[in-house]
Amino acid sequence: MSTTHRVLILGAGYAGLAAATQLAARTGKADVQVTLVNAQERFTERLRLHLTATGQRVAELDIPTLLAKTGAHFVRGWVTAVDAHAKTVRIDDNRVLRYDTLVYGLGSVTDTAAVPGVEEHAYTLDGVGDATTLADRLARLGGGTVVVVGSGLTGVEASAEIAEQHPELDVVLVGRQDPGATMTAKARSHLRAALARLGVRVISGTAVTKVLPDGVELVGAQTLAADVVLWTAGTRVSPLAAAAGLTVDERGRVVTDPTLRSVSHPDVYAIGDAAAVRQGYGVLHGTCQSGMPTGVHAAVSIARTLRGKQPRQFRFGYYHTPVSLGRNDAVVQFTHPDDSPRRGCLTGRPAVWYKETVSASPWPTYRRMTTMPSSGAFWPRGGRFTRLRDDAR
Protein backbone atom coordinates (compact mmCIF):
# COMPACT_ATOMS: atom_id res chain seq x y z
CA MET A 1 0.00 0.00 0.00
CA SER A 2 1.28 3.50 -0.90
CA THR A 3 2.32 5.70 2.00
CA THR A 4 2.23 8.85 -0.08
CA HIS A 5 0.09 11.55 1.51
CA ARG A 6 -2.09 13.22 -1.12
CA VAL A 7 -2.80 16.92 -0.66
CA LEU A 8 -5.33 18.30 -3.10
CA ILE A 9 -5.62 22.09 -3.39
CA LEU A 10 -8.77 23.40 -5.08
CA GLY A 11 -8.44 26.80 -6.72
CA ALA A 12 -5.28 28.56 -7.90
CA GLY A 13 -6.25 32.08 -6.90
CA TYR A 14 -4.19 34.27 -4.58
CA ALA A 15 -4.72 31.89 -1.66
CA GLY A 16 -4.51 28.51 -3.46
CA LEU A 17 -1.31 29.38 -5.28
CA ALA A 18 0.27 30.53 -2.02
CA ALA A 19 -0.67 27.18 -0.47
CA ALA A 20 0.66 25.15 -3.42
CA THR A 21 4.05 26.88 -3.75
CA GLN A 22 4.58 26.95 -0.01
CA LEU A 23 3.63 23.31 0.53
CA ALA A 24 5.58 21.98 -2.44
CA ALA A 25 8.71 23.73 -1.17
CA ARG A 26 8.24 22.49 2.40
CA THR A 27 7.49 18.88 1.49
CA GLY A 28 9.61 18.48 -1.65
CA LYS A 29 11.59 15.48 -0.49
CA ALA A 30 8.93 13.92 1.71
CA ASP A 31 6.35 11.36 0.71
CA VAL A 32 3.75 13.98 -0.17
CA GLN A 33 1.97 14.52 -3.46
CA VAL A 34 0.69 18.06 -3.96
CA THR A 35 -1.93 18.57 -6.67
CA LEU A 36 -3.44 21.92 -7.58
CA VAL A 37 -6.73 22.05 -9.50
CA ASN A 38 -7.88 25.19 -11.28
CA ALA A 39 -10.28 26.17 -14.03
CA GLN A 40 -7.57 27.89 -16.07
CA GLU A 41 -3.83 27.59 -16.56
CA ARG A 42 -3.47 31.36 -16.53
CA PHE A 43 -3.34 33.03 -13.13
CA THR A 44 -6.15 35.58 -12.81
CA GLU A 45 -4.76 38.81 -11.36
CA ARG A 46 -8.05 40.03 -9.99
CA LEU A 47 -6.30 43.09 -8.62
CA ARG A 48 -5.70 44.19 -12.20
CA LEU A 49 -8.94 43.21 -13.91
CA HIS A 50 -10.00 46.87 -14.18
CA LEU A 51 -6.93 47.36 -16.40
CA THR A 52 -7.94 44.44 -18.63
CA ALA A 53 -11.49 45.82 -18.72
CA THR A 54 -10.20 49.05 -20.21
CA GLY A 55 -8.03 47.41 -22.86
CA GLN A 56 -4.69 47.72 -21.03
CA ARG A 57 -2.26 44.84 -21.28
CA VAL A 58 -1.28 42.86 -18.22
CA ALA A 59 1.20 39.99 -18.02
CA GLU A 60 0.08 36.45 -18.84
CA LEU A 61 1.14 34.40 -15.84
CA ASP A 62 1.21 30.65 -16.42
CA ILE A 63 0.57 28.43 -13.40
CA PRO A 64 2.04 25.15 -14.78
CA THR A 65 5.28 27.00 -15.61
CA LEU A 66 5.46 28.37 -12.07
CA LEU A 67 5.01 24.88 -10.62
CA ALA A 68 7.25 23.09 -13.15
CA LYS A 69 10.23 22.53 -10.87
CA THR A 70 8.37 22.27 -7.58
CA GLY A 71 7.14 18.70 -7.81
CA ALA A 72 3.51 19.84 -7.48
CA HIS A 73 1.08 18.62 -10.14
CA PHE A 74 -1.32 20.91 -11.92
CA VAL A 75 -4.73 19.71 -13.09
CA ARG A 76 -6.76 21.96 -15.30
CA GLY A 77 -10.46 21.37 -14.77
CA TRP A 78 -13.68 22.58 -13.24
CA VAL A 79 -14.50 21.00 -9.89
CA THR A 80 -18.09 19.77 -9.92
CA ALA A 81 -18.34 17.92 -6.59
CA VAL A 82 -16.51 17.18 -3.36
CA ASP A 83 -17.29 13.94 -1.51
CA ALA A 84 -15.99 14.66 1.98
CA HIS A 85 -16.83 11.15 3.18
CA ALA A 86 -15.08 9.24 0.37
CA LYS A 87 -12.39 11.98 0.23
CA THR A 88 -12.72 12.48 -3.50
CA VAL A 89 -13.19 15.43 -5.84
CA ARG A 90 -14.89 15.17 -9.19
CA ILE A 91 -13.76 17.24 -12.20
CA ASP A 92 -15.97 18.19 -15.14
CA ASP A 93 -14.35 15.60 -17.43
CA ASN A 94 -15.48 12.98 -14.89
CA ARG A 95 -12.03 12.41 -13.47
CA VAL A 96 -12.07 11.58 -9.79
CA LEU A 97 -9.15 12.80 -7.66
CA ARG A 98 -8.47 11.30 -4.22
CA TYR A 99 -7.08 13.16 -1.25
CA ASP A 100 -5.89 12.62 2.28
CA THR A 101 -5.91 16.36 3.00
CA LEU A 102 -7.98 18.87 1.05
CA VAL A 103 -7.29 22.60 0.81
CA TYR A 104 -10.46 24.36 -0.28
CA GLY A 105 -9.71 27.69 -2.00
CA LEU A 106 -12.32 28.19 -4.69
CA GLY A 107 -12.58 31.93 -4.03
CA SER A 108 -15.62 34.03 -4.78
CA VAL A 109 -17.40 35.54 -7.75
CA THR A 110 -19.64 38.56 -8.23
CA ASP A 111 -23.10 37.96 -6.86
CA THR A 112 -25.18 38.16 -10.02
CA ALA A 113 -28.23 36.56 -8.41
CA ALA A 114 -29.04 39.19 -5.78
CA VAL A 115 -30.90 41.54 -8.11
CA PRO A 116 -33.03 40.71 -11.19
CA GLY A 117 -31.47 41.43 -14.56
CA VAL A 118 -27.80 41.36 -13.49
CA GLU A 119 -27.21 37.93 -14.99
CA GLU A 120 -28.77 38.93 -18.31
CA HIS A 121 -27.74 42.54 -18.78
CA ALA A 122 -24.71 43.45 -16.65
CA TYR A 123 -20.99 42.95 -17.13
CA THR A 124 -18.82 41.63 -14.29
CA LEU A 125 -15.12 41.54 -13.40
CA ASP A 126 -14.78 37.88 -12.46
CA GLY A 127 -12.07 36.81 -14.85
CA VAL A 128 -9.96 37.81 -17.81
CA GLY A 129 -12.71 36.65 -20.19
CA ASP A 130 -15.36 38.90 -18.59
CA ALA A 131 -12.99 41.84 -18.42
CA THR A 132 -11.96 41.44 -22.07
CA THR A 133 -15.60 41.27 -23.18
CA LEU A 134 -16.25 44.53 -21.34
CA ALA A 135 -13.13 46.13 -22.84
CA ASP A 136 -14.35 45.26 -26.36
CA ARG A 137 -17.77 46.73 -25.67
CA LEU A 138 -16.35 49.95 -24.20
CA ALA A 139 -13.99 50.36 -27.14
CA ARG A 140 -16.89 50.08 -29.60
CA LEU A 141 -19.26 52.46 -27.78
CA GLY A 142 -17.83 55.76 -29.01
CA GLY A 143 -20.01 57.66 -26.50
CA GLY A 144 -22.82 57.07 -24.02
CA THR A 145 -23.20 56.19 -20.38
CA VAL A 146 -21.58 53.49 -18.27
CA VAL A 147 -23.19 52.81 -14.91
CA VAL A 148 -20.90 51.08 -12.40
CA VAL A 149 -22.98 49.55 -9.62
CA GLY A 150 -21.32 49.13 -6.23
CA SER A 151 -19.47 51.95 -4.50
CA GLY A 152 -17.00 49.64 -2.74
CA LEU A 153 -13.36 49.70 -3.73
CA THR A 154 -13.81 47.51 -6.84
CA GLY A 155 -16.46 49.93 -8.14
CA VAL A 156 -14.30 52.96 -7.35
CA GLU A 157 -11.24 51.54 -9.12
CA ALA A 158 -13.27 50.41 -12.14
CA SER A 159 -15.15 53.69 -12.57
CA ALA A 160 -11.96 55.77 -12.28
CA GLU A 161 -10.17 53.56 -14.80
CA ILE A 162 -13.04 53.61 -17.31
CA ALA A 163 -13.41 57.39 -17.03
CA GLU A 164 -9.68 57.93 -17.53
CA GLN A 165 -9.27 55.52 -20.47
CA HIS A 166 -12.57 56.52 -22.10
CA PRO A 167 -13.07 60.28 -21.67
CA GLU A 168 -15.76 60.07 -24.36
CA LEU A 169 -18.03 58.14 -21.95
CA ASP A 170 -20.15 59.41 -19.06
CA VAL A 171 -19.38 57.26 -16.05
CA VAL A 172 -21.80 57.05 -13.13
CA LEU A 173 -20.93 55.24 -9.90
CA VAL A 174 -24.01 54.10 -8.00
CA GLY A 175 -24.10 52.50 -4.56
CA ARG A 176 -25.37 52.40 -1.01
CA GLN A 177 -22.31 53.85 0.68
CA ASP A 178 -20.22 56.93 0.01
CA PRO A 179 -17.08 55.94 -1.96
CA GLY A 180 -14.24 55.54 0.52
CA ALA A 181 -16.71 55.39 3.41
CA THR A 182 -14.34 53.35 5.58
CA MET A 183 -11.45 55.82 5.17
CA THR A 184 -10.45 58.92 7.13
CA ALA A 185 -11.83 62.28 6.00
CA LYS A 186 -8.51 63.17 4.32
CA ALA A 187 -8.26 59.95 2.29
CA ARG A 188 -11.96 60.03 1.43
CA SER A 189 -11.86 63.61 0.20
CA HIS A 190 -8.82 62.83 -1.98
CA LEU A 191 -10.70 59.88 -3.47
CA ARG A 192 -13.83 61.95 -4.10
CA ALA A 193 -11.80 64.78 -5.69
CA ALA A 194 -10.06 62.29 -8.00
CA LEU A 195 -13.38 60.82 -9.13
CA ALA A 196 -14.72 64.33 -9.76
CA ARG A 197 -11.60 65.30 -11.73
CA LEU A 198 -12.03 62.23 -13.92
CA GLY A 199 -15.68 63.16 -14.46
CA VAL A 200 -17.20 60.25 -12.55
CA ARG A 201 -20.66 61.17 -11.29
CA VAL A 202 -21.38 59.59 -7.90
CA ILE A 203 -24.87 58.64 -6.75
CA SER A 204 -24.67 57.17 -3.25
CA GLY A 205 -27.21 56.33 -0.55
CA THR A 206 -29.32 54.34 -2.97
CA ALA A 207 -29.54 50.80 -4.29
CA VAL A 208 -30.17 49.30 -7.68
CA THR A 209 -33.26 47.09 -7.60
CA LYS A 210 -33.20 45.87 -11.21
CA VAL A 211 -30.90 45.90 -14.21
CA LEU A 212 -32.72 46.60 -17.47
CA PRO A 213 -31.48 46.11 -21.05
CA ASP A 214 -30.91 49.88 -21.27
CA GLY A 215 -30.27 51.03 -17.73
CA VAL A 216 -30.92 50.39 -14.07
CA GLU A 217 -33.87 50.86 -11.76
CA LEU A 218 -33.15 52.44 -8.37
CA VAL A 219 -35.03 52.23 -5.07
CA GLY A 220 -38.24 54.24 -5.55
CA ALA A 221 -38.60 53.12 -9.20
CA GLN A 222 -36.43 55.95 -10.56
CA THR A 223 -34.48 54.76 -13.62
CA LEU A 224 -31.05 55.64 -14.90
CA ALA A 225 -30.29 55.13 -18.60
CA ALA A 226 -27.09 53.22 -19.42
CA ASP A 227 -25.43 51.77 -22.49
CA VAL A 228 -23.32 49.52 -20.30
CA VAL A 229 -23.86 48.36 -16.71
CA LEU A 230 -20.90 46.98 -14.75
CA TRP A 231 -21.94 45.11 -11.60
CA THR A 232 -19.45 45.08 -8.71
CA ALA A 233 -21.86 44.95 -5.77
CA GLY A 234 -21.33 41.90 -3.58
CA THR A 235 -19.77 38.49 -3.97
CA ARG A 236 -20.88 34.91 -3.48
CA VAL A 237 -19.00 31.65 -3.05
CA SER A 238 -19.28 28.27 -4.71
CA PRO A 239 -22.07 26.03 -3.37
CA LEU A 240 -19.75 22.99 -3.47
CA ALA A 241 -18.66 23.16 0.19
CA ALA A 242 -22.22 23.27 1.48
CA ALA A 243 -23.25 20.48 -0.90
CA ALA A 244 -20.39 18.36 0.46
CA GLY A 245 -21.77 18.70 3.99
CA LEU A 246 -18.99 20.96 5.30
CA THR A 247 -20.17 23.40 7.94
CA VAL A 248 -20.63 26.75 6.21
CA ASP A 249 -21.72 30.21 7.37
CA GLU A 250 -24.78 32.11 6.11
CA ARG A 251 -22.80 33.10 2.99
CA GLY A 252 -21.71 29.53 2.17
CA ARG A 253 -18.11 30.01 3.34
CA VAL A 254 -16.40 27.10 5.08
CA VAL A 255 -16.31 27.74 8.84
CA THR A 256 -12.80 27.11 10.13
CA ASP A 257 -11.27 26.46 13.52
CA PRO A 258 -8.43 28.75 14.67
CA THR A 259 -5.92 26.70 12.64
CA LEU A 260 -7.97 27.05 9.39
CA ARG A 261 -9.32 23.49 9.41
CA SER A 262 -13.01 22.96 8.70
CA VAL A 263 -14.85 22.71 12.03
CA SER A 264 -16.81 19.72 10.69
CA HIS A 265 -14.06 18.03 8.63
CA PRO A 266 -10.56 18.48 10.11
CA ASP A 267 -8.92 16.91 7.04
CA VAL A 268 -10.13 19.94 5.06
CA TYR A 269 -8.42 23.34 5.32
CA ALA A 270 -10.29 26.36 3.95
CA ILE A 271 -8.50 29.47 2.71
CA GLY A 272 -9.08 32.81 0.98
CA ASP A 273 -12.50 34.17 0.10
CA ALA A 274 -14.08 30.70 0.40
CA ALA A 275 -13.33 30.51 4.13
CA ALA A 276 -15.04 32.11 7.13
CA VAL A 277 -11.97 32.74 9.31
CA ARG A 278 -12.63 34.29 12.72
CA GLN A 279 -10.17 36.66 14.34
CA GLY A 280 -10.55 38.64 17.57
CA TYR A 281 -12.13 41.53 15.62
CA GLY A 282 -14.56 39.40 13.58
CA VAL A 283 -14.58 37.27 10.42
CA LEU A 284 -12.03 38.13 7.70
CA HIS A 285 -13.51 39.78 4.65
CA GLY A 286 -12.23 38.73 1.23
CA THR A 287 -8.98 40.41 0.29
CA CYS A 288 -5.75 39.37 -1.31
CA GLN A 289 -3.79 40.71 1.69
CA SER A 290 -5.50 38.20 4.01
CA GLY A 291 -6.02 35.45 1.42
CA MET A 292 -2.34 34.81 0.72
CA PRO A 293 -1.46 34.38 4.42
CA THR A 294 -4.31 31.88 4.84
CA GLY A 295 -2.83 29.80 2.00
CA VAL A 296 0.67 29.94 3.46
CA HIS A 297 -0.61 29.12 6.94
CA ALA A 298 -2.57 26.09 5.70
CA ALA A 299 0.55 24.79 3.93
CA VAL A 300 2.75 25.30 6.99
CA SER A 301 0.14 23.55 9.14
CA ILE A 302 -0.07 20.56 6.80
CA ALA A 303 3.74 20.28 6.73
CA ARG A 304 3.80 20.43 10.57
CA THR A 305 1.07 17.81 10.89
CA LEU A 306 2.94 15.47 8.56
CA ARG A 307 5.93 15.78 10.90
CA GLY A 308 3.71 14.80 13.83
CA LYS A 309 3.35 18.35 15.18
CA GLN A 310 0.19 20.31 15.98
CA PRO A 311 -0.93 23.09 13.59
CA ARG A 312 -0.68 26.60 15.04
CA GLN A 313 -3.40 29.19 15.35
CA PHE A 314 -3.80 31.53 12.36
CA ARG A 315 -3.59 35.23 13.15
CA PHE A 316 -3.79 38.10 10.72
CA GLY A 317 -4.12 41.86 11.11
CA TYR A 318 -4.95 44.17 8.21
CA TYR A 319 -2.48 46.94 7.47
CA HIS A 320 -3.62 48.90 4.42
CA THR A 321 -6.27 49.63 1.81
CA PRO A 322 -4.59 50.68 -1.46
CA VAL A 323 -6.97 52.04 -4.12
CA SER A 324 -6.05 53.06 -7.64
CA LEU A 325 -7.75 56.14 -9.10
CA GLY A 326 -6.76 55.70 -12.73
CA ARG A 327 -3.08 55.39 -13.74
CA ASN A 328 -1.88 58.70 -12.30
CA ASP A 329 -3.48 58.83 -8.89
CA ALA A 330 -4.25 56.57 -5.96
CA VAL A 331 -4.94 56.63 -2.26
CA VAL A 332 -3.58 54.27 0.39
CA GLN A 333 -5.36 54.20 3.71
CA PHE A 334 -3.25 52.61 6.44
CA THR A 335 -5.32 50.59 8.87
CA HIS A 336 -5.37 49.10 12.33
CA PRO A 337 -5.33 45.29 12.41
CA ASP A 338 -9.15 45.22 12.56
CA ASP A 339 -9.23 47.20 9.26
CA SER A 340 -10.38 50.44 10.88
CA PRO A 341 -8.49 53.46 9.47
CA ARG A 342 -5.34 54.87 11.05
CA ARG A 343 -4.63 58.56 10.70
CA GLY A 344 -1.97 58.06 8.04
CA CYS A 345 -2.62 57.83 4.32
CA LEU A 346 -0.72 58.27 1.07
CA THR A 347 -2.07 60.13 -1.95
CA GLY A 348 -0.87 61.02 -5.44
CA ARG A 349 2.40 59.67 -6.90
CA PRO A 350 3.68 57.90 -3.75
CA ALA A 351 0.31 56.15 -3.53
CA VAL A 352 0.46 55.17 -7.23
CA TRP A 353 3.88 53.61 -6.65
CA TYR A 354 2.70 51.85 -3.46
CA LYS A 355 -0.43 50.44 -5.11
CA GLU A 356 1.52 49.21 -8.14
CA THR A 357 4.13 47.56 -5.90
CA VAL A 358 1.39 45.77 -3.96
CA SER A 359 -0.49 44.62 -7.09
CA ALA A 360 2.71 43.33 -8.70
CA SER A 361 4.00 41.49 -5.63
CA PRO A 362 2.03 38.19 -5.49
CA TRP A 363 3.66 36.45 -8.49
CA PRO A 364 7.30 37.17 -7.45
CA THR A 365 6.29 36.09 -3.94
CA TYR A 366 5.07 32.71 -5.24
CA ARG A 367 8.23 32.32 -7.30
CA ARG A 368 10.38 33.07 -4.28
CA MET A 369 8.43 30.68 -2.10
CA THR A 370 9.11 27.75 -4.43
CA THR A 371 12.74 27.78 -3.27
CA MET A 372 12.58 29.84 -0.04
CA PRO A 373 9.27 29.06 1.63
CA SER A 374 9.99 31.07 4.77
CA SER A 375 10.20 34.26 2.65
CA GLY A 376 6.39 34.15 2.30
CA ALA A 377 5.61 33.57 5.93
CA PHE A 378 5.73 37.20 7.09
CA TRP A 379 2.58 39.18 7.72
CA PRO A 380 1.28 41.26 10.61
CA ARG A 381 -0.21 39.00 13.28
CA GLY A 382 -2.33 41.84 14.67
CA GLY A 383 -1.49 41.64 18.41
CA ARG A 384 -4.41 42.07 20.77
CA PHE A 385 -6.80 42.78 17.87
CA THR A 386 -6.63 39.23 16.55
CA ARG A 387 -6.49 37.31 19.82
CA LEU A 388 -9.51 35.03 20.08
CA ARG A 389 -11.51 35.02 23.29
CA ASP A 390 -11.63 31.57 24.91
CA ASP A 391 -15.29 31.04 23.96
CA ALA A 392 -14.48 31.59 20.25
CA ARG A 393 -11.70 29.02 20.04
Ligand X SMILES: Cc1cc2nc3c(=O)[nH]c(=O)nc-3n(C[C@H](O)[C@H](O)[C@H](O)COP(=O)(O)OP(=O)(O)OC[C@H]3O[C@@H](n4cnc5c(N)ncnc54)[C@H](O)[C@@H]3O)c2cc1C
Position 287 contacts ligand X (CB under 6 A): yes
Binding part of the chain for ligand X, among 25-33, 38-46, 194-202, 217-225 by CB under 6 A, reads: 38-46
Considering the rule CB under 6 A, would residue 180 count as an interface residue with ligand X?
no
Residue from 4, 31, 78, 267 in contact with ligand X (CB under 6 A) = 78
End-to-end CA distance of the chain: 37
The per-residue DSSP string of 313-327 comes to: PP-----EEEEE-SS
Q: Between 37 and 306, name the residue whose CB sits nearer to ligand X.
A: 37
Dist CA 349 CA 329 (whole Å): 6
- Binding residue for ligand X, selected from 117, 179, 252, 272, defined by CB under 6 A: 272
CB of 18 vs ligand X, minimal distance in Å:
8
Give the Cα separation of 307 and 29 in Å (integer). 13
Cβ closer to ligand X: 216 or 277?
Answer: 277
Q: Whole-number minimum distance, CB 323 to ligand X, in Å? A: 7
| β-bridge partners, 283 | 278
Q: What are the distances in angstroms from CA 320 to CA 38, 98, 291, 342? A: 29, 39, 14, 9
35: contact with ligand X by CB under 6 A = no
Binding mask 206-245 for ligand X (x = CB under 6 A): --------------------------------x-------
Single residue of 7, 8, 15, 191 touching ligand X by CB under 6 A: 15
Region of 8-16, 64-72, 333-341, 346-354 interacting with ligand X (CB under 6 A): 8-16
What's the min distance (Å) between Cβ of 258 and ligand X? 19
Query: Which residue of the chain is nearest ligand X when measured via CB?
Result: 13
Kindly tell me the sign of the dihedral angle through the C-alpha atoms of 86, 72, 44, 382: positive
**Cα→Cα distances 276→83, 140, 167, 173, 283, Å:** 20, 41, 40, 29, 6
For residues 293 and 286, the answer to whether their CB atoms sit within 8 Å is: no
Rule CB under 6 A: choose which of 130, 164, 273, 329 binds ligand X.
273
DSSP state of 383: H
* Orientation angle between helical segments 14-27 and 362-371, nearest 10 degrees: 10
* Residue 38 near residue 16, CB atoms below 8 Å: yes
Q: Residue 179, interface with ligand X (CB under 6 A)?
A: no
Torsion on CA atoms 339, 345, 350, 351, rounded to nearest 10: 40
Query: Closest CB to ligand X among 12 and 255?
Result: 12
* In the complex, minimum distance from the CB of residue 123 to ligand X, in angstroms, rounded to a whole number: 12
Q: Which residues bind ligand X (CB under 6 A)?
A: 11-16, 37-40, 44, 46-47, 49-50, 78-79, 105-108, 125, 154, 238, 272-274, 286-289, 291
